[in-house]
Amino acid sequence: RIAEAHARIMWGFGVRPNDTVFIGSFFSLYWGSWGALLGTERLGATAFPFGAGVPGQSERGLEWMKEVRPTVFYGTPSYSLYLAEKARAMGIDPKKDFNFRILFFSGEPGAGVPSTRKRIEDTYGGICIDSGSTAEMAPWMTDGECAHRQGMHLWQDIVYAELVDRETHRKAPYGQEGVTVYTHLERNSQPMIRFWAGDIAYWTDDPCPCGRTYPRLPKGIYGRADDMFVIRGENVYPSAIENVIRGIEGLGDEFRIVITREKTMDEMIVQAERSPQADPEILPELKARLAGELKARGLRAVVELMEPGTLTRTEFKARRVIDRRRIHDDPADPN
């Protein structure tokens, strides 16, 4: 059923059986890759499930894109821009040397942000399509744009989506902002009923040139009702990092999470302090332990340890996360 749903929605992106879909995301616990693969196969298009994440894989993928000339790309928006940069460094022009006519994305809000969309379309010469509700709600493409790119349609016959008021939890009228809540209509295993996904969007039922009458999210998903953030397609809760730090004897209670975008890929820096009781000599050991425990939880982070009292104390959880990525406040972005 997931394959059926994704094939229908990918048809809406403009994908056809004669397309070859390059899947440039990690095949493991990340639902994105598997969902794109299932949809591609059911649609009858050719899948090129290349994956991502292994050292050296990007360069190799670029060689294959030049060779095989796939027509559709799937991945995260930031990875597509990272690939383009690598390509140029290798003397490859992503527009001329590749053959992408559709690039569809999930895992990050970027593809729905006008400035990022424009950058991707200018870089590759294909259309940039935003999709993705949340992994728990797979088939996750049921928030998905059509080829007209007027915001993600909500495919209500597969997963019933509502936007609700953040406080009262009552349904928000069209034209207003709310928190995404989803209900599975087709799943036999782990069906979710009114699942609080916690993303913030506004919705409308204005007509779309494609003729579909589903409501739409014209600005995509642009915020969170809690402090979760998304880095390289993975959901991260600051509380999980907090638990790791507070579980290591010798580290102080205060911490910061700094998220930067070096060129095009996200980096997370975790800053923590030595506790006043701990011997300064064990600092390298503490650092290695913190990095190791984060890594074991799938959190790729640069760890910086500081002397006690270096970090400003804050009462507000959210202030511990400093997001320097500027996805939404790009000066070129009219929104």
CA separation for the pair 291, 274 (Å, rounded): 14
**Residue span binding a copy of itself (CB under 8 A) among the ranges 98-106, 135-143, 290-298, 319-327:** 290-298
List the interface residues with a copy of itself, window 81-120 (CB under 8 A): 90
Residue whose CB is less far from a copy of itself, 295 or 326: 295
CB 127 within 8 A of CB 14: yes
Closest CB to a copy of itself among residues 33, 116: 33
**Residue ranges in the chain assigned as alpha helix (H):** 2-13, 31-43, 57-68, 77-89, 114-124, 238-246, 283-296
207 binds a copy of itself (CB under 8 A): no
| Cβ nearer to a copy of itself, comparing 83 with 127 | 83
Query: With respect to a copy of itself, which residue has the nearer C-beta, 28 or 239?
Result: 28
Does residue 55 touch a copy of itself according to CB under 8 A? yes
Contact 105, 80 (CB under 8 A): yes
Give the integer Cα–Cα distance in Å for 31 and 42: 17
Q: Which of 171, 194, 295, 317 binds a copy of itself (CB under 8 A)?
A: 295
Cβ distance to a copy of itself smaller for residue 148 or 300: 300
Q: What's the min distance (Å) between Cβ of 299 and a copy of itself?
A: 8
Give the list of residues 6+ apart from residue 52 with CB closer than 8 angstroms, or none: 24, 25, 26, 58, 61, 75, 79
3-state helix, strand and coil shares in percent for the chain, rounded to the nearest 5:
30, 25, 45
Six-digit token string for 57: 């894989």
From the list 26-34, 149-157, 175-183, 245-253, the region that binds a copy of itself by CB under 8 A is 26-34
Q: Give min distance, CB of 234 to a copy of itself, in A.
A: 11
193 binds a copy of itself (CB under 8 A): no
Single out the residue of 27, 160, 196, 222 in contact with a copy of itself (rule: CB under 8 A): 27
Site string for a copy of itself, 56-75 (x = CB under 8 A): xx-xx--x------------
Cα-Cα end-to-end distance for the chain: 36
Smallest separation, CB 80 to a copy of itself (Å): 17
According to CB under 8 A, which one of 17, 191, 223, 298 is a site residue for a copy of itself?
298
What is the length of the chain? 335
Residue 50, interface with a copy of itself (CB under 8 A)? yes
**CB of 139 within 8 A of CB of 12?**
no
Given candidates 1, 4, 20, 49, which one binds a copy of itself under the rule CB under 8 A? Answer: 49
Backbone angles phi, psi at 322, to 5 degrees: -115, 110
Q: Which stretch binds a copy of itself (CB under 8 A): 14-22, 47-55, 130-138, 185-193?
A: 47-55
Under rule CB under 8 A, residue 248 binds a copy of itself: no
User: In the complex, what is the shortest distance from the CB of residue 129 to a copy of itself, in angstroms, rounded to a whole number?
Assistant: 24
Q: Which of 239, 237, 235 is nearest to 221 (CA)?
A: 235
- Check: CB of residue 95 under 8 Å from CB of residue 88: no
182: how many CB neighbours lie within 10 A of its CB? 24
For residue 216, what are its two tokens? 């739409």
> Can residue 276 be called a binding residue for a copy of itself (CB under 8 A)?
no
CA–CA distance, 55 with 236 (Å, rounded to integer): 23
Q: What is the DSSP letter of 101?
A: S
Could you say whether residue 18 binds a copy of itself (CB under 8 A)? no
Q: Which two tokens stand for residue 207?
A: 């007509």
Q: How far is the CB of 86 from a copy of itself (least distance, A)?
A: 10
300 binds a copy of itself per the rule CB under 8 A? yes
Where along the sequence are the contacts to a copy of itself (CB under 8 A)?
26-29, 33-34, 49-51, 53-57, 59-60, 63, 90, 292, 295-298, 300
